[in-house]
């Protein structure tokens, strides 16, 4: 069969299967991320139907998926909202780092993956999935709840931490010297500062440059700007993902809203390819040996995220039920955890076991997160009723 024809058949098959998996995920009320990862495991090395003719396309498409994920995340926030969120949530954010990065780092050190593995796994277990959390809050009608600003503030803090973490990780994975690493971090800090100042003072001009009444022109300008900034950031040893995130912050107002609506379908398409590619590069046979550790991390970091959300909501005067909802909402891990593990795997700086552990962990957490958010309120209400129920002796005596 002609090579091009085979590539089209394989690519069409992958997209169609992704559509079926996405529909199935919607039917059962879960994020499609676990099913996309499972699809990649089935089509990849050691899978049921290995694919080998679309590697070049999927590699580039997955990079574009990361850029679009971070661009749209940046479009959700203005620079002013970032500053407000940082002021409101910095204490909870620091607690979040300590409680949720530590389990991943400890397990990596126990497994003998060294400081680099510990740095990677710390990021994998630390960062919550903004995409899954936003979808769950919307589906459950909780966007207007009192605890939701607390959840969003913590997510904003995590995004800012990622803006610093990713350049450091990129430098470490690249094997640069201490001086080179400090240079990368310095460039990242300078870039973040410049972009935030531009976004605060001149955001309307940035928006005007990319804006257009013509949908086609608007799409080309926004997507072109995102890829240009991501490429330039990567050339300066700053993560391409961070560059896209900062561009998103600099675009504001109606332009940001229009860009979000315009780019969402593209993001979903390329992000799905990204998750599949990560699964393609993970051998299913490598997961069973690390499944026990994935379960340990899933249980421990579920408890630590719930504790983080509970404490942060309590500091804002939210009631017990709202604290429970805030904690459960933060449980999900997803796109960012896979981005971090994907960077490490692509750099060849970690073992295949780490990729397998990250895949198994995200599979568990992307399922546990939505489930926890849905069941926490009925469970909390049931516990409260039992607590308020009078003891048998008191009921008998009328006391």
Tell me, yes or no, whether 50 lies in a domain.
yes
Helix axes 55-75, 253-280, angle to 10 degrees: 140
Tell me, yes or no, whether 165 lies in a domain.
yes
Tell me, yes or no, whether 383 lies in a domain.
no
Domain that holds residue 73: 3-378
Q: What is the CATH number of the domain that holds 221?
A: 1.20.1530.20
Which helix (H) or strand (E) segment holds residue 315: the answer is: helix 288-315
The CA-CA-CA angle for residues 180, 181, 185, to 5°, reads 115
Please, what's the b/e burial string for 245-254 (b: 16 or more CB within 10 A of its CB; e: otherwise)? Answer: bbbbbbbbee
Q: Are 350 and 340 in contact (CB under 8 A)?
A: no
Tens-digit pLDDT profile for residues 52-67: 666 677 778 878 887 8
Structure tokens given for 280: 């393609």
Confidence tier at 349 by pLDDT (50, 70, 90) = low
Report CA-CA distances (Å) from 119 to 101, 113, 167, 299, 340: 9, 10, 12, 20, 10
Q: How many whole angstroms separate alpha carbon 209 and alpha carbon 102? A: 43
pLDDT at 96: 94
Tell me, yes or no, whether 389 lies in a domain.
no
pLDDT-wise least confident of 46-55, 138-147, 285-294, 300-309: 46-55
Tell me, yes or no, whether 394 lies in a domain.
no
Tell me, yes or no, whether 64 lies in a domain.
yes
Structure tokens given for 53: 């003719």
Structure tokens given for 175: 């094997």
Q: Is the pLDDT of residue 312 over 70?
A: yes
Total tally of structural domains belonging to the chain: 1
Beta-carbon contacts of residue 227 (< 8 Å; ≥ 6 apart): 64, 67
pLDDT at 217: 93
Q: Are 324 and 158 in contact (CB under 8 A)?
A: no
Tell me, yes or no, whether 391 lies in a domain.
no
Average pLDDT, integer, range 200-218: 83
């Amino acid at each position: 069969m002609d090579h091009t024809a085979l590539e089209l058949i394989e690519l069409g098959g992958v997209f169609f299967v992704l559509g079926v998996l996405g529909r199935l995920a919607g039917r059962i009320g879960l994020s499609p991320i676990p099913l996309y990862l499972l699809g990649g495991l089935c089509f990849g090395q050691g899978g049921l139907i290995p694919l080998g003719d679309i590697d070049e396309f999927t590699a580039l498409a997955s990079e574009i998926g990361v850029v679009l994920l971070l661009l749209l995340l940046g479009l959700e926030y203005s620079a002013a909202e970032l500053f407000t969120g940082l002021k409101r949530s910095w204490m909870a954010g620091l607690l979040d780092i300590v409680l949720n990065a530590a389990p991943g780092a400890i397990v990596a050190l126990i497994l003998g993956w060294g400081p680099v593995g510990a740095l990677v796994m710390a990021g994998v277990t630390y960062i919550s999935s903004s995409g899954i959390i936003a979808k769950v809050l919307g589906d459950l009608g909780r966007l207007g709840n009192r605890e939701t600003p607390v959840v969003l503030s913590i997510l904003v803090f995590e995004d800012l931490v990622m803006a610093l973490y990713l350049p450091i990780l990129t430098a470490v994975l690249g094997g640069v010297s201490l001086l080179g690493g400090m240079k990368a971090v310095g460039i990242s800090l300078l870039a973040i500062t410049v972009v935030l100042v531009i976004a605060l003072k001149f955001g309307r001009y940035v928006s005007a440059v990319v804006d257009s009444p013509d949908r086609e022109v608007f799409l080309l300008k926004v997507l072109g700007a995102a890829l240009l900034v991501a490429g330039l950031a990567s050339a300066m040893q700053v993560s391409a993902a961070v560059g896209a995130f900062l561009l998103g912050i600099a675009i504001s107002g109606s332009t940001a809203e229009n860009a979000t609506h315009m780019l969402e379908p593209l993001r979903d398409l390329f992000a799905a390819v990204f998750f599949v590619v990560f699964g393609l590069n993970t051998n299913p046979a490598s997961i069973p040996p690390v499944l026990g550790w994935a379960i340990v991390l899933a249980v421990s970091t579920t408890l630590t995220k719930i504790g983080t959300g509970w404490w942060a909501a309590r500091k804002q005067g939210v009631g017990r039920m709202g604290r429970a909802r805030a904690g459960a909402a933060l449980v999900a891990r997803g796109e960012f955890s896979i981005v971090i593990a994907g960077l490490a795997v692509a750099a060849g700086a970690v073992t295949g076991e780490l990729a397998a552990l990250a895949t198994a962990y995200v599979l568990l957490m992307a399922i546990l997160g939505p489930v926890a958010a849905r069941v926490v309120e009925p469970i909390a209400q049931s516990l409260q009723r039992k607590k308020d129920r009078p003891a048998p002796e008191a009921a008998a005596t009328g006391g």
